[in-house]
Amino acid sequence: MTHPPLPAGLETNFLHVPEYAVLGFLLARALQGGGDGRAAPGVLAGALVLALLLGGLDEFHQAFVPGRMPDPMDWVRDGAGAVLGVSSWGLWTWIRR
């Protein structure tokens, strides 16, 4: 088992994408610093790198938690969610401008 038991019918692999999408969106928003303009590519790249590092750190620390194991595919799912969230922030700043 790589995670604590969840309610029946709830697939944990699915949860990585929305969880990291929210994280990526909020990181991009925070790194932009409240500016009203469009998000700079560096802000978006920084948010993505930070989200990927956090996802990797999360998988790494699971090696030290009894009953859990790191899974590289979880990190891939985290990355997919982060790309979705960071891209959503970039698109939002472009649309609202």
Domain ranges in the chain are 15-96
pLDDT of residue 36: 74
Residue 96 or 3, more confident: 96
- In the predicted structure, residue 6 carries a pLDDT above the cut 90: no
pLDDT at residue 82, as a whole number: 98
Question: H helices of the chain, where?
Answer: 12-32, 41-61, 72-96
Alpha carbons 8 and 61: distance in angstroms, whole number: 26
pLDDT computed for residue 83 by the predictor: 98
Cβ within 8 Å of residue 26, ≥6 positions away: 85
